[in-house]
Amino acid sequence: LRPPTVIGQFHTLFFGSIRMFFLGVLGFAVYGNEALHFSCDPDKREVNLFCYNQFRPITPQVFWALQLVIVLVPGAFFHLYAACKNIKQEDILQKSSYTGFYIFSVFLRIVLEVVAFWLQIQLFGFKVNAIYMCDVGALEKKFNITRCMVPEHFEKTIFLIAMYTFTVITVILCVAEIFEISCRRLGFLKTQ
């Protein structure tokens, strides 16, 4: 069962293909070895690990993978419901209850993307700095603050901005899909 709108089908292609490819291939290239190359002064394994865990409570790759899975859930529930009820694609836009359930699943995607956007800002910000000042007081070191070098900080900043952009595009597509459905239901657009 495909999404019932052209925008929904484009969203599935965009979301399913481009975004996952970008995260899987380029995300691994940019973030795959971050912990190994994260180094602090003094450059000792325990300090590096302690500070890296402080710097990254969750790795961006894991966060974005969770975001993708969570945002896919509302659509998956709708498609499971449609499969169980033997709902045809053309019926989704003709029967009010199916349309309402589908719009609700799209609206839920919007909410989940906005929450993920906010969490990403809280966790990662908009820029990755070259130097991270780490509080090593818990390690009972002579110095409470140590400097750490963040590898490939410029590439990571570009990647962050790209992931923000994907989220914004996804939200715009979801809003456009709700608008398209509303126009079809009101008779402004012909049903496919």
Task: Kindly list the structural domains of the chain, giving each domain's residue range(s) and its CATH number in brackets, ordered by start.
Answer: 6-183 (1.20.1440.80)
Q: Which residue has the tokens 């994260």?
A: 38
Q: Kindly give, in sequence order, each residue whose CB lies less than 8 Å from that of residue 181, ignoring residues fewer than 6 positions away.
A: 4, 5, 93, 99, 102, 103, 106
Tell me what the mean pLDDT of segment 168-187 comes to.
90
The pair phi, psi for residue 147, each rounded to 5°, is -90, 135
The pair phi, psi for residue 95, each rounded to 5°, is -100, 125
pLDDT value, residue 1: 64
Closest CA to 9 of 176, 186, 183: 176
pLDDT (tens digit, 9 = 90+) per residue, 89-104? 878 888 888 999 999 9
Q: How far apart are CA 82 and CA 91, in angstroms?
A: 10
Q: What is the pTM of this model?
A: 0.86
Q: How far does Cα 134 stand from its chain's mean position?
A: 27
Tell me what the mean pLDDT of segment 141-155 comes to.
86
pLDDT value, residue 11: 82
Closest CA to 111 of 178, 186, 17, 183: 178
Please determine, for residue 191, whether its predicted confidence score (pLDDT) is greater than 60. no
Q: Which range has the top average pLDDT, 28-32, 34-38, 49-53?
A: 49-53
Q: How far apart are CA 56 and CA 147, in angstroms?
A: 15
Written as six digits, the tokens of 73 are 């859930």
Q: Give the Å distances, CA to CA, from 64 to 59, 60, 111, 187.
A: 9, 6, 16, 38
Please determine, for residue 150, whether its predicted confidence score (pLDDT) is greater than 70. yes
Tell me what the mean pLDDT of segment 129-139 comes to.
89
